[in-house]
């Protein structure tokens, strides 16, 4: 597992630096992966914020850590661990949504799942001593050593997830803002909720491979929340959410390339700064 030590620093020529940014093979993969992840997080995160499921999203992001550590322990590909465990967690969380018992019941159930996931994750890490050097990158992300086959997996998951959300966009929006009327119109509101959590789980599993389990939030929540502060027109808002996610990802990757700090730090700091600025102005 590589560490974040390809610190190259700046040369004396900005043109050379930019050229290196786009030609270094690992940087090309990182930019491709970052772009895919940002577009997906921008779309899925928008619905997550609208549906007030950020706590569920946060829990899923922690289970992605559990998935990765379980996969490492079992000697399976990390990506498999991310997707399988996040998928299972999404189905579990959908089971906790119970309109009759209300939000408080739901959030305490989600919290219970979160604690279990985190506990299991650290158990797996301690059982598999070898992973300890990679613990940082599981939690805080890495953009090093992304292979072209990983980029392909990311692309396939992103296309499938975004297509699913696109097909269900209107019913999902309807069920999110106005569930009572949506039920009366015959929409499968519970099924839509389950479907969305599974897509969210896939999105989290994918995003956390770049940003790490703890920082997945930066890409899922902040661009979407910022976009929703700026406009209440749904289509404009989604487009803005994607654009903001792209900007912070690209800037974060470029900054991380020329410095010794991890990419997750830059992505979170940039999106936080953006959110604060918009919050103060709007």
Partner 1 sequence: MSAVSLEGAEARIGGHVVWRDVTVHVERGEFVAVLGPNGSGKSTLVRAMLGLQPLSAGRATVLGGSPGTANDRIGYLPQRHAFDATTRIRGIDLVRLGLDGARWGVPLPGRRNRAAAARVERVIELVGATAYARRPIGELSGGEQQRLLIAQALVRGPELLLLDEPLDSLDLPNQAGVAALVERICKEEDVAVLLVAHDVNPIIAYLDAVIYIAGGTAVEGAPEDVIATGTLTELYGVPIEVLRTSDDRLVVVGAPDLHGHHAH
Chain contacts with partner 1 (rule: CB under 8 A): 50, 52, 166-171, 173-174, 177-178, 180-187, 228-229, 231-234, 237
Tokens of 110: 């989600």
Shorter beta-carbon distance to partner 1: residue 24 or 178: 178
The C-alpha atoms of residue 28 and residue 37 are separated, in whole angstroms, by: 14
Shorter beta-carbon distance to partner 1: residue 53 or 209: 53
Shorter beta-carbon distance to partner 1: residue 150 or 176: 176
| Structure letter (DSSP) for residue 133 | G
Break the chain down into helix, strand, coil percent, rounded to 5: 80, 0, 20
Angle between helices 234-257 and 222-230 (to 10 degrees): 140
CA angle 237/239/240 to nearest 5° reads 65
In the complex, minimum distance from the CB of residue 174 to partner 1, in angstroms, rounded to a whole number: 4
In the complex, minimum distance from the CB of residue 172 to partner 1, in angstroms, rounded to a whole number: 10
Distances (CA, A) of 36 to 27, 214, 245, 250, 254: 14, 19, 10, 11, 16
First and final C-alpha spacing in the chain: 43
Shorter beta-carbon distance to partner 1: residue 182 or 270: 182
In the complex, minimum distance from the CB of residue 195 to partner 1, in angstroms, rounded to a whole number: 12
In the complex, minimum distance from the CB of residue 234 to partner 1, in angstroms, rounded to a whole number: 6
In the complex, minimum distance from the CB of residue 180 to partner 1, in angstroms, rounded to a whole number: 4
Shorter beta-carbon distance to partner 1: residue 98 or 180: 180
């Amino acid at each position: 597992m590589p560490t974040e030590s390809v610190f190259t620093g700046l040369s004396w020529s900005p043109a050379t630096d930019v050229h290196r940014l786009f030609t270094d093979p690992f940087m090309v993969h990182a930019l491709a992966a970052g772009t895919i992840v940002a577009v997906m997080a921008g779309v899925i995160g928008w619905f997550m914020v609208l549906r007030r499921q950020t706590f569920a999203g946060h829990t899923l992001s922690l289970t992605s850590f559990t998935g990765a550590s379980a996969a490492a322990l079992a000697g399976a590909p990390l990506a498999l661990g991310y997707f399988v465990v996040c998928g299972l967690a999404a189905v579990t969380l959908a089971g906790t949504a119970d309109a009759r018992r209300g939000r408080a019941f739901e959030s305490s159930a989600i919290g219970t799942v979160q604690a279990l996931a985190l506990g299991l994750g650290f158990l797996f890490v301690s059982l598999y001593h070898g992973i300890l050097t990679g613990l940082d990158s599981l939690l805080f992300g890495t953009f090093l050593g992304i292979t072209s086959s990983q980029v392909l997996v990311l692309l396939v998951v992103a296309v499938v997830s975004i297509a699913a959300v696109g097909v269900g966009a209107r019913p999902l929006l309807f069920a999110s803002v106005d569930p009572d009327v949506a039920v009366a119109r015959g929409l499968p509101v519970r099924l839509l909720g389950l479907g969305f959590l599974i897509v969210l789980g896939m999105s989290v599993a994918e995003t956390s491979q770049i940003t790490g389990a703890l920082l997945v939030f930066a890409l899922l929540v902040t661009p979407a929340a910022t976009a929703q502060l700026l406009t209440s027109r749904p289509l404009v808002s989604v487009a803005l959410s994607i654009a903001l996610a792209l900007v912070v990802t690209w800037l974060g990757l470029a900054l991380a390339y020329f410095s010794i700090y991890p990419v997750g730090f830059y992505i979170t700091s940039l999106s936080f700064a953006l959110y604060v600025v918009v919050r103060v102005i709007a």
